[in-house]
Amino acid sequence: MEHLKLSKDKLGDFVAKLGDKEVLVPQKEGEALKFVPLTGDSVPELDYANTSVPPKNAVFPQTETMLRFEWGKMETTAVTGEAKEKVFFGVRPCDARAKVIVDKLFTWDEKDPYYVEKREKSTVVGLACAEPCSNCFCTSVGGGPASTEGLDVLLTDLGESYLVQPLTDEGQSLCQAASDDLEKAAEGDVQAAEKVHQEAEKKISRQIDTGGIPEGLPGLWENELWEKVSQSCLGCGICTYLCPTCHCFDMQDEVEGFDGRRCRTWDSCMFSEYTMHASGHNPRPTRRERTRNRINHKYSYFVDKFDVIACVGCGRCISLCPVNIDILDILSKVKEAL
């Protein structure tokens, strides 16, 4: 597909032409930078490294109603068919890849109707990374600062303008709708963008060779490393809440007056209640077992089932852990032990 160019002063016009779709852009909410709907005629602010919260909430909400019912009645009504068309604008390639990885989970065997309908109504406009964060390691887990997996359009910052690369039919039609604001890119623009991508890749300072980890991890079951790496863990679960690929959920019923709902909420394998049986028996009684499961799930079990590591190297779990637990440090201990 043809490369296009968008002048930065036309960004607002471009976004306005996305029609009646809800446009989610990175915005500051308190301390956190996260994807929230763009309101009025405001212009997205795309000068950021990465959002502190990944854009998963819009397709897999932290809390969502699955069924409604009237208290005392047995009939339940499924709450589906309410998803709106959404455009995610300015998503980093790692977070776009994460959606493709999570798709595998929610669509294998029986499809999850809540996730699927939101995902099918999503268009993703990515923004290539020019300045990776200090804890980024996307290139070690199959991604890159300009990876196009999961994207409909890729933007690359060229200083005064963006190179616009439509990647899918959805991306193409989105660009067609805003063709007044776009111009044809010159060969030099395409080369400049490639240079940005290459430079960005060089700036990624953290790396690990994941070779051998998926097959080797289960063999390290009783290794002392799990005790060591989990000692300082508080069990707060932020590594999983802020992870773009974490997808575990709980289901709970709530009743207010006669209005009842069954909802799901994010859950975390780092919480003790996650696996606690009704009898009180817990197959993962301490943080050692829970940390071991988190790493095994991402780097081994998920690979067994879906042929891809369930980590995109965004580095959030490293940057935001209150006690500085570093997944790359854990992985390098795993490598040493193999």
User: Which residues of this protein are in contact with other proteins, per CB under 8 A?
Assistant: 66-67, 69, 71-76, 78, 80, 105-106, 108-110, 112-113, 218, 221-222, 247-253, 255, 260, 262, 264, 267, 269, 274-279, 281, 283-284, 289, 293, 296-297, 300-301, 304-305
Residue 45 has a CB neighbour count (10 Å cut-off) of: 13
Rounded to a whole number of angstroms, the minimum distance from the CB of residue 64 to other proteins is 11
Q: Residue 138 and residue 314: Cα distance in Å, rounded?
A: 6
The amino acid that residue 218 corresponds to is P
Nearer to other proteins, 52 or 76 (CB): 76
Kindly tell me which of 78 and 186 has the beta carbon lying closer to other proteins. Answer: 78
Min dist CB 242 to other proteins, Å, is 16
Neighbour-count burial for 224-235, b at 16+ CB within 10 Å, e otherwise: ebbeebbeebee
Q: Fill in the DSSP letter of residue 85.
A: P
Q: Rounded to the nearest whole angstrom, what is the least distance from the CB of residue 124 to other proteins in the complex?
A: 22
Shortest separation between residue 284's beta carbon and other proteins, angstroms: 7
Q: Least distance (Å) from other proteins to the CB of residue 35?
A: 23
- The residue (of 99 and 197) whose beta carbon lies closer to other proteins is 99
Contact yes or no for 160/8 (Cβ under 8 A): yes
Cα gap 108→178, rounded to integer Å: 36
With a CB cutoff of 8 Å and minimum separation 6, the contacts of 281 are none
**Cβ distance to other proteins smaller for residue 28 or 111:** 111
Q: Minimum distance between the CB of residue 91 and other proteins, rounded to whole angstroms? A: 23
| Separation in Å, CA 290 to CA 38, 122, 235, 240 | 38, 33, 9, 12
Instruction: Please name the residues in contact with 152: beta carbons below 8 A apart, sequence gap of 6 or more.
Output: 123, 124, 125, 166, 167, 168, 170, 171, 174
Q: By C-beta, is 12 or 216 nearer to other proteins? A: 216
Residue (193 or 269) nearer to other proteins, CB: 269
Q: Which residue has the tokens 């879906």?
A: 306
Dihedral, 155, 6, 55, 148 alpha carbons, nearest 10: -20
Instruction: Compute the least distance from the CB of residue 103 to other proteins, in Å.
Output: 12
Nearer of residues 172 and 286 to other proteins, judged by Cβ: 286
